Amino acid sequence: MNVKPLPLAALAAAAVLSTMAIADAIWNANVPGRPGPWMDAESFDFLARALNLAHSGVYVLFAAALLSTGQAIDRGRLLARLSRWILVAGYAAFAVAFAWLGAVDPHRQPEGVFATLVNVAFMITLVAPIILGFALIRRRELRAAVILLISPVALIPMTILLGLIGPWGHPAYLESAIGFGVALLCVSASTSSVSDSGSSHDARTHVVVEGR
């Protein structure tokens, strides 16, 4: 199976994002009201910077993988192309915001224009994957990725319920599902593209041989 490097890097990035998010969910559930050391910029400045820069890198890889496999993902579908580009824009906005926090000001509180940027990026990266998933739902080779992309439809009410009945309501579940969904989408699309290219080459070779 031949897969381009960027989709594989995006899959590794999804694992990193999921690990960070789930760790934060576990900490919040067991130590409520106290941020984890990786979020405490006052006491652990270097950890806060590293976490923010790691987030920025993850979102850069997601955006780059979606761009590199765009043609294989879209296959001429307008809704898929539009939702993919909107998702790329959301990840780019997140990458810029986290890069600023990591490199310049980890103590900054989300307010004003910065808060607007982060909130808009969050909504885009939550809604656009669902739309993209439904746009690709008939593509059998993308089925696993599509299920993860549209899973927030079920995960959002589940997360709200967990928050109402206990301390386990956390966006980590959404982040993990969408992150792996995007990464698997790029990997599957890349594999599909390579297979199609190989099939086309074999077909052309067969025609040439027959012509001779």
Domain span at residue 174? 5-211
pTM assigned to the model: 0.86
pLDDT value of residue 197: 47
pLDDT value of residue 11: 96
In this structure, what are the phi and psi dihedrals at residue 87, rounded to the nearest 5 degrees? -65, -40
| C-alpha–C-alpha distance, residues 30 and 141, integer Å | 40
Provide the token pair at 160: 């709200």
pLDDT value of residue 200: 41
37-41: Cβ within 8 A, 24+ apart:
41/106, 41/107
- Of 123, 124, 50, 47, which is closest to residue 82 (Cα–Cα)? 124
pLDDT value of residue 203: 37
How far, in Å, are 32, 94, 121, 174 from residue 21 at the CA level? Answer: 16, 15, 17, 9
Sorted by sequence, the CB contacts under 8 Å of residue 12 that are 6+ apart come out as none
pLDDT value of residue 202: 41
Number of domains the chain contains: 1
Kindly give the confidence (pLDDT) of every residue in the chain, 212 residues in length, as a single tens digit, with 9 standing for 90 and above: 567 899 999 999 999 999 999 999 999 899 887 877 666 656 667 888 888 899 999 999 999 999 999 999 999 999 999 999 999 999 999 999 999 888 887 776 667 888 888 899 999 999 999 999 999 999 999 999 999 999 999 999 999 999 999 999 999 999 999 999 999 999 999 987 654 544 443 434 343 444 44
- Of 22, 60, 72, which is closest to residue 177 (Cα–Cα)? 22
